[in-house]
């Protein structure tokens, strides 16, 4: 399972381990146990500080569960299943972070996690094909390493069908905290920290204060293509630059196929995100990831309050916060997220193998989702609100070739129905006749576009009724010294290459502003 090439890479990664680390494997019989044992033995063979120990441990749920022990003491990190596929990186990072490699978590977040003083037991249900799951597993593993009150267990849903049924799980990642649903669907570290602060509201006040940054020339909100371009252009001018991002890469990180970035014939969101990070690291830019700005005070010097409680002072502000999936806002949607309502066909599609599903939305994203799902599920019904589909003709033509895809036009979704905690049907209105209909199905994938991430800007700059930031041709907003770019703005075309150009333009405009005002 572990190839010679991977062993060689692991040998290099682990050469600076500063303490002995053991894989403690639960004893017992299971058809997958020998495979897991070989997997762990191969990894342990790359470094003398790594070892495999078989032991009866009360905290481990089955013979295919193992824990990481540092100096023969539990780290709080448990894997139930074989962490291959996308989760292999989660295991490797857990090993490295446990044995001395610095975490990339912002210092402010680390202080918040260290302030937790009650027992927190996280269980993360994953699919090894899910590209969003590792982010959640890796974040919670770091939480466990930072605080002995926290444990984090990755559970491969494919190997624990009884737990999937028991907890009514229909989507990944699903996170349980002390046995109760804590988060599910596409969740990033910033969301986990915010939910943790809701769980323990006084965390920020109990946390040790992070080191205060000096006055910044440019602060960029957002780590997607627009924000990264803005930061690089500002840094190249020799300015003091900070980037604040809930998730570096933004929506791009979740995009699987990119074929319209000129000069790059084909790439993926994760690859492009890695390339953007590599380029940003060429410059002296402060990156504060997994944090939100909760308040903006205007003035010649802007004051930004972060979700960690920190305050950053800056001469100019460039907003590149992008957009998020738009929700249906109908009864039964939020209540059933993770139990039949999903937004990522790549992540959650495999849970609906051989089942009937719906895709809401007939634009490019909706039709692409239907095409992806058609190879997995029994049937797909696409519901489009308008009389005609909005997707590109090439996609519509491809969809017409699939026997298991049906299209319903002029349909307004009214509610999501559930039985025994799982989605069982969709209720919709035929807009021509007003007739209300229901269709029995097992899952609903919502693909109706994006909504701007501009909530923190209300009352700060002019917004359209749809929440987009109003800008001029230079990226200037209605507030002096505040600029905006990318999908959060009124720029009509939401494309990666356009966002990069808009970010560069906003940065140049900010530089001009600094020359004239400071």
DSSP run (H or E) holding 242: strand 241-245
* CATH homologous superfamily for the domain 334-448: FAD/NAD(P)-binding domain (3.50.50.60)
Q: Give the global pTM.
A: 0.79
What pLDDT, on the 0 to 100 scale, is given for residue 203?
86
Distance CA 422, CA 338 (A): 9
Q: Do domains 4-206 and 334-448 have the same CATH topology?
A: no
Q: Which long-range contacts (CB under 8 A, 24 or more apart) does 193-199 make?
A: 193/109, 193/112, 193/113, 193/290, 193/307, 194/292, 194/307, 196/112, 196/113, 196/116, 196/120, 197/112, 197/307
Q: Which CATH architecture has domain 216-324+452-517?
A: 3-Layer(bba) Sandwich (3.50)
Residue whose tokens read 């919502």:
446
Per DSSP, 87 falls in state G
Show the tokens assigned to 299.
Answer: 């003035």
What pLDDT, on the 0 to 100 scale, is given for residue 185?
72
Fold of 4-206: Glutaredoxin (3.40.30)
What pLDDT, on the 0 to 100 scale, is given for residue 347?
66
Domain ranges of the chain: 4-206, 216-324+452-517, 334-448
Q: Per-10-residue mean pLDDT for the chain, 518 residues long?
A: 91 95 97 97 97 96 97 97 94 97 92 94 91 90 98 96 88 91 85 91 83 95 98 98 94 76 90 96 96 95 94 98 90 82 80 94 93 95 96 94 96 92 93 96 91 96 96 98 97 91 98 97
SS3 425: strand
């Amino acid at each position: 399972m572990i190839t010679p090439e991977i062993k060689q890479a692991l040998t290099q990664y682990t050469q600076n381990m500063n303490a002995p680390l053991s894989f403690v494997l639960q004893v017992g019989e299971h058809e997958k146990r020998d495979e897991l044992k070989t997997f762990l033995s191969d990894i342990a063979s790359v470094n003398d500080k790594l070892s495999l120990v078989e032991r009866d441990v009360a905290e481990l749920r089955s013979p295919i569960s193992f824990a990481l022990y540092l100096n023969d003491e539990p780290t709080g990190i448990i894997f139930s299943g074989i962490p291959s596929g996308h989760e292999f990186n989660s295991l490797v990072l857990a090993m490295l972070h446990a044995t001395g490699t610095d975490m990339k978590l912002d210092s402010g977040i680390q202080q918040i996690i260290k302030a937790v003083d009650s027992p927190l037991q996280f269980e993360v249900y994953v699919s090894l094909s899910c590209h969003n799951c590792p982010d959640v597993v890796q974040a919670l593993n770091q939480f466990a390493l930072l605080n002995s009150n926290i444990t984090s267990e990755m559970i491969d849903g494919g190997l624990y069908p009884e737990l999937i049924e028991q907890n009514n799980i229909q989507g990944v990642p699903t996170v349980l905290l002390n046995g109760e649903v804590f988060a599910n669907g596409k969740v990033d570290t910033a969301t986990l920290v915010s939910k943790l602060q809701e769980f323990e509201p006084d965390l920020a006040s109990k946390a040790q204060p992070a080191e205060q940054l000096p006055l910044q020339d440019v602060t960029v909100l957002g780590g997607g293509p627009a924000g990264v371009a803005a930061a690089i252009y500002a840094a190249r001018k020799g300015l003091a630059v900070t980037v604040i991002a809930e998730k570096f890469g933004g929506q791009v990180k979740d995009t699987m196929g990119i074929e319209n970035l000129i000069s790059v014939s084909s790439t993926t969101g994760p690859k492009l995100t890695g390339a953007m990070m590599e380029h940003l690291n060429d410059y002296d830019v402060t990156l504060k990831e997994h944090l939100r700005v909760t308040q903006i005070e205007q003035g010649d010097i802007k004051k930004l309050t972060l979700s960690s409680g920190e305050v950053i002072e800056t001469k100019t502000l460039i907003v590149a916060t992008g957009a998020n999936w738009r929700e249906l806002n109908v009864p039964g949607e939020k209540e059933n997220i993770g139990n039949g309502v999903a937004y990522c066909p790549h992540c959650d599609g495999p849970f609906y193998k051989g089942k009937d599903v719906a895709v809401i939305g007939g634009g490019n994203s909706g039709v692409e989702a239907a095409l992806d799902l058609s190879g997995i599920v029994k049937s797909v019904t696409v519901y489009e609100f308008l009389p005609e589909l909005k997707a590109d003709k090439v996609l519509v033509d491809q969809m017409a070739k699939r026997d298991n895809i049906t299209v319903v036009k002029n349909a307004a979704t009214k509610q999501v129905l559930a039985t025994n905690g799982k989605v069982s049907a969709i209720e919709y209105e035929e807009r021509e006749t007003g007739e209300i209909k229901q269709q029995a199905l097992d899952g609903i994938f919502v693909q109706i576009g994006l909504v701007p991430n501009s909530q923190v800007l209300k009352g700060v700059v002019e917004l359209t009724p749809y929440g987009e930031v109003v800008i001029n041709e230079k990226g200037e907003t209605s507030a002096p010294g505040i600029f905006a770019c990318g999908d959060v703005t009124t720029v009509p075309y939401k494309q990666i290459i356009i966002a990069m150009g808009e970010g560069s333009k906003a940065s140049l405009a900010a530089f001009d502003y600094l020359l004239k005002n400071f």
